[in-house]
C-alpha cells in the first residue's frame, strides 16, 4: 500500500523522476533513463507514456505465421531520410498547465489555437501518408471516412490496388477540408492518418519557462518545447492570442465513432480463434465470439502492443509502453466454453524444475515424449511416468486435444495441500454484513433497505460450478461508535446481541454462532433483519467508528480460519474517539499547490497498516458509502483498494430516487464470480520481465501480487521491461498464474498463457498497438503518479510523451512529407482525443469546483478498471434516442461526444460507465415525450427522477432495452440523470462532451491536436 521509497527508481509512468534525491535536471523516460537530448534521437524511454492504438495491418502481409514474425514489408526498402534535428527551444510556450475553471456558464471559449491557425491552413488532410502512399486521386464527394482503428487480420485482407483518397467539397463556412479517408471495397487501408497544419503559428509569444516547484530537487521542465495549451484560466501564462477566425471542419479530424463502427463492421459476430501468435484482437467495443486454441482470450488479457520490440534500444526509441491489462476472472458469455478444471491427482500440477512455469501449450515434448523443454527458460525436464504419452508424426502428444493444459490458453488446475496455508485444505469463505446504524443512515432509509434486501439476497450467494447450495457462511454486525455482534445460531429461537464498547482494543465476543450457514439459520437471520431497523429507529447517535470495525471483521475471519469479505454500509466521517478517527481536511486551498497530492493519500497510517493485515488474513473489504458531506474517501477507500474490494458511493442518498441503483450494485456484488486469498505471479520467456503492477492489489515484494480477493470486474495492469534481446522466431511468451480459494473452499490455480510476436521494425510495433489498452495503462500510471508528483508535472509528462511517440513514428515510419502535416499511425489515430479526455478528467484537473472526495473516488475506482471500462469512461457513448428504430433490435449508431451533435428537437443518451444522462432538447416533439415519460410536455417531466416510467409504448420499451444493454456487464450501476436543455443541470452533462473545451479547464480535441502537432514539429525540426 505504501508508496515505494523515494530514493528508489519507480517503474510505471514514463517520465516521472526516480525520486526526490535525484539531482538530474531532466525527467527520466521509463526505466531506461537515457541522457536528455534536445533532438529526437533513437534513445527515448520505453516505459514512457505512449499513444494508444490498435494496429491495422497492410494488405497481404502474413504477420501471424509462427515462422515469419516480420509484419509487412521491410521498412528498409522505404526508409525516409532522417530529419536533421536542431536544438529545441525550451521556452517556446508555457507547459500544458492551463487547466482552470472558466466561467461554468459561458458557452463561448476564448480564442483558441484552432482560430489562430485557420488562416494559414489551406488544407487539412487525413489520408494515406505512410510508406507506399500515392498522390491523391479523386473520388466523388462523400461523408468523411476514416481509416479503421484496426484493420482486419492480414490473412483476411484482400489486396487493394493503390489507395484512393477523396476530396471533400469546400464547406460554405470556410472550414478547412481535405482528403479524409481511404477505402477499398469497404475495407480501410492501413495507411496512417495525416492532417495538414501550418508551417508556423503566428501570434504565438514565447512563454516563460517554469522554475522547479519549491521543495523538489527535480526539474519539471520536459525535453522539447513546452507548448501553449488553450483553455487556460484567467491569468495563466501563454494564452494564445489573436482575433477569432473561422473554425476548422471538425469532420476532418479522426473520429473514435468511425473507428469503433468500422471495427464492428469488419469483425462483429465473427469467431476469433487464438491459434496464431501475436494477433491483434477486435476492439473491446466489438462483440465477437472467442475460441481458445492455445492463447488466452482477449477477455482475460489485452496488450498495449501485440508485437514487442526485440531490443531495449528499440523500446526506448519507440516509447510505447509494453504492458498487459489482465482480468483473471473475466466474465465469459454463455456461447463460449467455460474454463476447464484439470486434476493431476496427488502428484499435483506439472511444473518446470527451473523457472516453475506450469505445463502449458508452450512446452515442447522431445525424446519420444519422455522429456519436455520449457518454453520460458528452455530447461529440459523429465515427464513424470504417470503423465507420459507417445508423440504423433509431428512431435505432438497423442492426447494433445484431450488435455486442456496442452491445447488451451486458459484453464484451471486443482491445487494440492502444498499450495494451502499450513498445508491443510481451506475452509469455505464467509461474508460479514456490517451496517452503520447511526442517525444519518437510519434517517435516509439505508438500514431498513439493506435489511429488507438481505432476506432474499442471501439465497443467491455464489457457489462452485457443481455445488447445489453455496458453502459461504454469513455473519452480522451493527455499529455506530460501539459494535454490536449477533449470535444467529440455528438452535436459537431469537438472535442474541453482544456489545463491544471498548473500540480501542477490539475483540470478538463470540465464536460459535457468529458465522453460520444461511440455509440452516434462515429463520433466526430473518428475525434479526426484521428487528434491526426497529431497534435503532429512535437513535440519536451520529458518531461512527471505522477502523475498529474492519479490525473486528478481520479477527472473526481469523478465528474461523477462513477467507472472506466484509460488506460495510457506512454514512459519515468516522469522528468517534477510536483508532482510525479522521478529521475534515477538505481544504481546496491546496488544489494546484505542491501539497495537493496529500489529498489523495490516507491522512493517517492506521489505514495502510490495517490494509496490510487484511491482505495477510485474506479479508477483503467492500465499502458502500452514503455521504451527505465530506467523508475522506482517500483514507476510508484505501482499504478496499488494497484488499481487492470495491468502493461504491451514493451522494445524498434518497431511498425513492437512489434505492434501485444501490440494490442493483449490491445484488451484482454478492452474486459475482470471485476468488479469495489469491497470489498472482507473472512468468515470461527470457529477455524481458514484469516490473510494475497497478490495480486493487497489495505487494510485499517485487514479484508476488497479493489479493485478499479478486472478482470478475478487477483488472491488473502489468508493465514489462527488457533484460536482453528477444528472438523474432520464438516471440515473447507470458504465463499468468493465479493461486486462489474458490467460493466452495477449493484451492485452485488459474492459468492464462499467451504468446506475442517480436520485431526489429518500428513500423510493425506501431501497427500492432491497441489504443484502449494504452489509455488504460496511461490512466493508471498517471493516477498512481498523482500520489507523489504535482498534477502539473503529471499532465506535462502525458502530453510530452504523446508528442514524442508520434514524432518517433513520423520520423522513422512515415514517408517524407511536408512538416506541416500531422501524420498519425493508423492504430493510434484517435489517441489524441483519448489522451486529451484523460487530461480533462476530474482527477487531473486542478479545479476547486470539484470536491476532493469525488476526485479521489474516481482515482480509486479507475485503478482496478479493465480496458472496456476505461474506454467508456474516457470517451462516453452518445446515442441519438430520437433516431431509434423502435421496430428493430439494433442500437442506433452513436455520435461524436460534442455539443455540435446535439439538436434542440432531439433526445440524447450519454453513458460513461458511472452515470447515464438523458438529455432533452427544448423543442423535442410532444409525442416523443408522451411515449417515453407519459406526460404531455417537457415542462411536466420531473428532473429529479432516476428511473424511467414503464410506459406501454414502443419508444419507452425500446429505450429501456437500450439502457439494459448499455448497463450489461458494467461493474457499476449507472445512475440515470435527466437533463433539460438550458437547465442548470446541463452543466454537469456538458463536462462529458469530451471533444469540446472543458467546463473546468482543458482544451477541445481540435485545439489539443494543434498543440500536439506543434510539439511534434519542434521535436522534428
Is pLDDT larger for residue 562 or for residue 64?
562
pLDDT in tens, 204-253: 333 333 333 333 333 333 333 333 344 433 333 333 333 444 456 778 89
What pLDDT, on a 0 to 100 scale, did the predictor assign at position 9? 38
Measured CA to CA in angstroms, residue 582 lies from 41, 484, 548, 846 at distances of: 50, 22, 13, 24
Residues 480-496, mean pLDDT to the nearest whole number:
95
pLDDT in tens, 432-458: 999 999 999 999 999 999 999 999 999
Give yes or no for residue 93 having a pLDDT over 70: no
What are 180's three cell numbers?
479524409
SS3 707: strand
Q: How confident is the model at residue 186 (pLDDT cuts 50, 70, 90)?
A: very low
What pLDDT, on a 0 to 100 scale, did the predictor assign at position 195? 65
Q: Contact at 8 Å (CB) between 824 and 254? A: yes
Is pLDDT larger for residue 148 or for residue 263?
263
What pLDDT, on a 0 to 100 scale, did the predictor assign at position 196? 60
Average pLDDT, the chain: 80
What are 400's three cell numbers?
494433445
Task: Please tell me the least confidently modeled range out of 99-108, 501-510, 634-643.
Answer: 99-108
Residues 726-744, mean pLDDT to the nearest whole number:
96
Distance CA 738, CA 419 (A): 11
Task: Please tell me the least confidently modeled range out of 78-87, 315-324, 425-434, 587-596.
Answer: 78-87
Distance CA 522, CA 524 (A): 6
Give yes or no for residue 996 having a pLDDT over 70: yes
| Nearest CA among 761, 811, 762 for reference residue 80 | 811
How many CB atoms are closer than 10 A to CB 67? 6
What pLDDT, on a 0 to 100 scale, did the predictor assign at position 96? 43
Residues 998-1019, mean pLDDT to the nearest whole number:
92
Residues 6+ apart with CB under 8 A from 79: none
pTM for the whole structure: 0.80
What pLDDT, on a 0 to 100 scale, did the predictor assign at position 803? 92
- What's the angle, vertex CA 626, arms to CA 434 and CA 596, rounded to 5? 110
Query: Rounded to the nearest 5°, which phi and psi values hold at 986?
Result: -65, -25
What pLDDT, on a 0 to 100 scale, did the predictor assign at position 884? 87
What pLDDT, on a 0 to 100 scale, did the predictor assign at position 197? 53
What are 724's three cell numbers?
536482453
**Each residue of 670-703: b (16+ CB within 10 Å) or e?**
beeebbbbbebebbbbbbbbbbbbbbbbbeeeee
pLDDT in tens, 149-169: 333 333 333 333 333 333 333
| Nearest CA among 105, 190, 330 for reference residue 984 | 105
Give yes or no for residue 18 having a pLDDT over 70: no
Task: Please tell me the least confidently modeled range out of 120-124, 359-363, 424-428.
Answer: 120-124
End-to-end CA distance of the chain: 44
What pLDDT, on a 0 to 100 scale, did the predictor assign at position 980? 95
What are 62's three cell numbers?
502474413
| Helix/strand/coil percent split, the chain, to 5 | 25, 15, 55
Distance CA 164, CA 136 (A): 7
902 Ramachandran zone, left/alpha/beta (phi>0; psi -120 to 50): beta
| Nearest CA among 602, 510, 600 for reference residue 552 | 510
pLDDT in tens, 501-514: 999 988 888 889 99
319 Ramachandran zone, left/alpha/beta (phi>0; psi -120 to 50): left
Give yes or no for residue 110 having a pLDDT over 70: no
Residues 6+ apart with CB under 8 A from 48: 13, 14, 15, 29, 30, 319, 321, 797, 801, 804, 805
What are 146's three cell numbers?
476514416
Burial of 657 per CB tally in 10 Å (0-12, 13-18, 19+): middle
Distance CA 230, CA 486 (A): 60
pLDDT in tens, 894-938: 999 999 999 999 999 999 999 999 999 999 999 999 999 999 999
pLDDT in tens, 811-860: 999 988 888 888 999 999 999 999 999 999 999 988 888 999 999 999 99
Amino acid at each position: 500500500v505504501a508508496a515505494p521509497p523515494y530514493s528508489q527508481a519507480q517503474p510505471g509512468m514514463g517520465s516521472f523522476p526516480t525520486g526526490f534525491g535525484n539531482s538530474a535536471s531532466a525527467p527520466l523516460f521509463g526505466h531506461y533513463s537515457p541522457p536528455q537530448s534536445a533532438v529526437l534521437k533513437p534513445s527515448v524511454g520505453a516505459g514512457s507514456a505512449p499513444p494508444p492504438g490498435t494496429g491495422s495491418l497492410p494488405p497481404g502481409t502474413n504477420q501471424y505465421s509462427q515462422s515469419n514474425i516480420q509484419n509487412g514489408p521491410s521498412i528498409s526498402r522505404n526508409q525516409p531520410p532522417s530529419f536533421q534535428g536542431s536544438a529545441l527551444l525550451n521556452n517556446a510556450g508555457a507547459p500544458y498547465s492551463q487547466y482552470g475553471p472558466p466561467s461554468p456558464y459561458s458557452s463561448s471559449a476564448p480564442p483558441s489555437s484552432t482560430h489562430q491557425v485557420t488562416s494559414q491552413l489551406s488544407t487539412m488532410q487525413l489520408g494515406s501518408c505512410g510508406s507506399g502512399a500515392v498522390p491523391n486521386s479523386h473520388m466523388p464527394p462523400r461523408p468523411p471516412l476514416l481509416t479503421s482503428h484496426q484493420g482486419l487480420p492480414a490473412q483476411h485482407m484482400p489486396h487493394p490496388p493503390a489507395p484512393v483518397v477523396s476530396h471533400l467539397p469546400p464547406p460554405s463556412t470556410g472550414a478547412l477540408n481535405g482528403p479524409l479517408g481511404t477505402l477499398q471495397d469497404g475495407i480501410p487501408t492501413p495507411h496512417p492518418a495525416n492532417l495538414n497544419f501550418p508551417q508556423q503559428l503566428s501570434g504565438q509569444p514565447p512563454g516563460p519557462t517554469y522554475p522547479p516547484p519549491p521543495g523538489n530537487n527535480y526539474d519539471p521542465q520536459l525535453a522539447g518545447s513546452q507548448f501553449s495549451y488553450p483553455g487556460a484560466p484567467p491569468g495563466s501564462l501563454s494564452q494564445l492570442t489573436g482575433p477569432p477566425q473561422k473554425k476548422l471542419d471538425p469532420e476532418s479530424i479522426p473520429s473514435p465513432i468511425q473507428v469503433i463502427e468500422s471495427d464492428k463492421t469488419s469483425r462483429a459476430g465473427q469467431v476469433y480463434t487464438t491459434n496464431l501468435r501475436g494477433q491483434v484482437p477486435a476492439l473491446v467495443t466489438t462483440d465477437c465470439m472467442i475460441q481458445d486454441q492455445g492463447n488466452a482470450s482477449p477477455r482475460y488479457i489485452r496488450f498495449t502492443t501485440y508485437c514487442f520490440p526485440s531490443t531495449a534500444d528499440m523500446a526506448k526509441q519507440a516509447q510505447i509502453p509494453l504492458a498487459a491489462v489482465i482480468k483473471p476472472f473475466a466474465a465469459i458469455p454463455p456461447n463460449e466454453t467455460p474454463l476447464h478444471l484439470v486434476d493431476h491427482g496427488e502428484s499435483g500440477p506439472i511444473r518446470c524444475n527451473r523457472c516453475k512455469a506450469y505445463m502449458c501449450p508452450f512446452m515442447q515434448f522431445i525424446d519420444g515424449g519422455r522429456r519436455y523443454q520449457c518454453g520460458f527458460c528452455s530447461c529440459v525436464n523429465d515427464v513424470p511416468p504417470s503423465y507420459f504419452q507417445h508423440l504423433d508424426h509431428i512431435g505432438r502428444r497423442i492426447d494433445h486435444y484431450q488435455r486442456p493444459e496442452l491445447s488451451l490458453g486458459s484453464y484451471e488446475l486443482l491445487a494440492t495441500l502444498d499450495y494451502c496455508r499450513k498445508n491443510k485444505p481451506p475452509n469455505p469463505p464467509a461474508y460479514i454484513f456490517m451496517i452503520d446504524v447511526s442517525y444519518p443512515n437510519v434517517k435516509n432509509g439505508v438500514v431498513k433497505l439493506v435489511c429488507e434486501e438481505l432476506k432474499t439476497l442471501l439465497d443467491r450467494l455464489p457457489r462452485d460450478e457443481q455445488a447445489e447450495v453455496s458453502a459461504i457462511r454469513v455473519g452480522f454486525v451493527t455499529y455506530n461508535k460501539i459494535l454490536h455482534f449477533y449470535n444467529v445460531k440455528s438452535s436459537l429461537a431469537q438472535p442474541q446481541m453482544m456489545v463491544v464498547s471498548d473500540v480501542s482494543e477490539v475483540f470478538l465476543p463470540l465464536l460459535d454462532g457468529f458465522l453460520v450457514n444461511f440455509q440452516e439459520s434462515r429463520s433466526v437471520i430473518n428475525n434479526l433483519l426484521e428487528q434491526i431497523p426497529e431497534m435503532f429507529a429512535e437513535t440519536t447517535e451520529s458518531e461512527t467508528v471505522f477502523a475498529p470495525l474492519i479490525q473486528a471483521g478481520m479477527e472473526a475471519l481469523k478465528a474461523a480460519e477462513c477467507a472472506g469479505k466484509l460488506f460495510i454500509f457506512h454514512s459519515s466521517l468516522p469522528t468517534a474517539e477510536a483508532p482510525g478517527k479522521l478529521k475534515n481536511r477538505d481544504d481546496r486551498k491546496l488544489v494546484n499547490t505542491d501539497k495537493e497530492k496529500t489529498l489523495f493519500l490516507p491522512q493517517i497510517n492506521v489505514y495502510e497498516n490495517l490494509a496490510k493485515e487484511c491482505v495477510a488474513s485474506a479479508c477483503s473489504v467492500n465499502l458502500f458509502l452514503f455521504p451527505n458531506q465530506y467523508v475522506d474517501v482517500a483514507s476510508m477507500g484505501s482499504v478496499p483498494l488494497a484488499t481487492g474490494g470495491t468502493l461504491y458511493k451514493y451522494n445524498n442518498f434518497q431511498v425513492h430516487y437512489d434505492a434501485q441503483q444501490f440494490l442493483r450494485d449490491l445484488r451484482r456484488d454478492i452474486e459475482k464470480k470471485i476468488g479469495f486469498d489469491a497470489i498472482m505471479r507473472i512468468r515470461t520467456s527470457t529477455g524481458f520481465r514484469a516490473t510494475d503492477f497497478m490495480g486493487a492489489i497489495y505487494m510485499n515484494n517485487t514479484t508476488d501480487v497479493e489479493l485478499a480477493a479478486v472478482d470478475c470486474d478487477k483488472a491488473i495492469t502489468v508493465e514489462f521491461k527488457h533484460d536482453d534481446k528477444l528472438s523474432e522466431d520464438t516471440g515473447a511468451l507470458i504465463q499468468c498464474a493465479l493461486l486462489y480459494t474458490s467460493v466452495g473452499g477449493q484451492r485452485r490455480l488459474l492459468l492464462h498463457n499467451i504468446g506475442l510476436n517480436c520485431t526489429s521494425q518500428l513500423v510493425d510495433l506501431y501497427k500492432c498497438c491497441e489504443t484502449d489498452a494504452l489509455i488504460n495503462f496511461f490512466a493508471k500510471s498517471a493516477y498512481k503518479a498523482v500520489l507523489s508528483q504535482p498534477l502539473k508535472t503529471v499532465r506535462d509528462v502525458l502530453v510530452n510523451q504523446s508528442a514524442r511517440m508520434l514524432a518517433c513514428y513520423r520520423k522513422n515510419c512515415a514517408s517524407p512529407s511536408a512538416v506541416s502535416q500531422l501524420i498519425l499511425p493508423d492504430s493510434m489515430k484517435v489517441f489524441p482525443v483519448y489522451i486529451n479526455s484523460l487530461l480533462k478528467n476530474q482527477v487531473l484537473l486542478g479545479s476547486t469546483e470539484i470536491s476532493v472526495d469525488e476526485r479521489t473516488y474516481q482515482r480509486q475506482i479507475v485503478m482496478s478498471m479493465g480496458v472496456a471500462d476505461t474506454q467508456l469512461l474516457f470517451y462516453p457513448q452518445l446515442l441519438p434516442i430520437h433516431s431509434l428504430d423502435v421496430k428493430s433490435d439494433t442500437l442506433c449508431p452513436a455520435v461524436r461526444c460534442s455539443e455540435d451533435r446535439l439538436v434542440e428537437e432531439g433526445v440524447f443518451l450519454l453513458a460513461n460507465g458511472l452515470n447515464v444522462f438523458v438529455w432533452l432538447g427544448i423543442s423535442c416533439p410532444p409525442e416523443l415525450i408522451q411515449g417515453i415519460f407519459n406526460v404531455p410536455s417537457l415542462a411536466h417531466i420531473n428532473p429529479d427522477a432516476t428511473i424511467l416510467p414503464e410506459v406501454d409504448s414502443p419508444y419507452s420499451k425500446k429505450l429501456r432495452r437500450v439502457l439494459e444493454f448499455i448497463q450489461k456487464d458494467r461493474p457499476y450501476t449507472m445512475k440515470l440523470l435527466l437533463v433539460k436543455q438550458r437547465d442548470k443541470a446541463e452543466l454537469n452533462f456538458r463536462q462529458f462532451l469530451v471533444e469540446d473545451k472543458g467546463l473546468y479547464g482543458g482544451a477541445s480535441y481540435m485545439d489539443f491536436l494543434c498543440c500536439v502537432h506543434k510539439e511534434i514539429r519542434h521535436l522534428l525540426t
